Chain A
Amino acid sequence: DAKTTQPTSMDCAEGRAANLPCNHSTISGNEYVYWYRQIHSQGPQYIIHGLKNNETNEMASLIITEDRKSSTLILPHATLRDTAVYYCIVRPNYGGATNKLIFGTGTLLAVQP
């Protein structure tokens, strides 16, 4: 079973920041928070991951609470092409047989013009 809880859907106006929450209250000390997204009819795409510090890359920012029980993915200026299902996944971060992704239901982000 997925270890995360996300809202089923969210709307965001184009050009505004999209803030996608994720609850992972049972996260273990060695588990990272990963975010992927899946645009319609495409394979999932990696966005960002983090352990306990906030992270930023060219796609998004990841804010993890101090107790690590929840996190927020931030798309700073959402565009119509960001419309997708966003998956928050927790897992250990090392290669090998346990490097599996267990997808939850995700959040469908609809960016409105």
Chain B
Amino acid sequence: DAMVIQNPRYQVTQFGKPVTLSCSQTLNHNVMYWYQQKSSQAPKLLFHYYDKDFNNEADTPDNFQSRRPNTSFCFLDIRSPGLGDAAMYLCATSGRTSGTDSYEQYFGPGTRLTVT
């Protein structure tokens, strides 16, 4: 049962052409995250939403924006992709697991972005 869904799995865009990546969840979690993972590197947090409150990481470039129209969906917008933005983009959700003290994050499979 897919819990965090990312579409598309592979996205090719041209240099400077805006692109949007999407993420949806069936977990009803109140927190959603976007990570960027470049080749052979660890995931790096870009920003997250706690309910409708947007929290940007200090070093996230302005070129990256996000929208969360409702609990289930979250979008990552790259306004003018550069070659250096080619990466895997991971969406994750977090909420308290019933009956436990755990707030683990659930990740989607990622969208691999290629910039030509």
Contact status A97-B55, CB under 8 Å: yes
Contact status B103-A45, CB under 8 Å: no
Question: In the complex, what residue of chain B is closest to A106 when comparing beta carbons?
Answer: B42
Once bound together, how far apart are the Cα atoms of A104 and B102, in whole Å?
A: 21
Question: In the complex, what residue of chain A is closest to B109 when comparing beta carbons?
Answer: A43
Q: 1/0 per residue A61-103: CB within 8 Å of B?
A: 0000000000000000000000000010000011111011111
User: B114 at the A/B interface (Cβ < 8 Å)?
Assistant: no
Question: In the complex, what residue of chain A is closest to B108 when comparing beta carbons?
Answer: A43
Instruction: State how many residues of chain A have any CB contact under 8 Å with chain B.
Output: 25
Contact status A104-B42, CB under 8 Å: yes
User: Cβ of A34: which chain B residues have Cβ within 8 Å of it?
Assistant: 104
User: B53 at the A/B interface (Cβ < 8 Å)?
Assistant: yes
Q: 1/0 per residue B67-94: CB within 8 Å of A?
A: 0000000000000000000000010101
Contact status B50-A93, CB under 8 Å: no
User: Cβ of A49: which chain B residues have Cβ within 8 Å of it?
Assistant: 102, 104
Contact status A44-B101, CB under 8 Å: no
User: Cβ of A100: which chain B residues have Cβ within 8 Å of it?
Assistant: 33, 45, 48
Contact status A101-B105, CB under 8 Å: yes
Known contacts A95-B103, A96-B50, then 7 further A-B pairs from the complex at CB < 8 Å, ordered by chain A residue: A43-B107, A44-B107, A93-B103, A95-B30, A95-B96, A97-B53, A99-B105
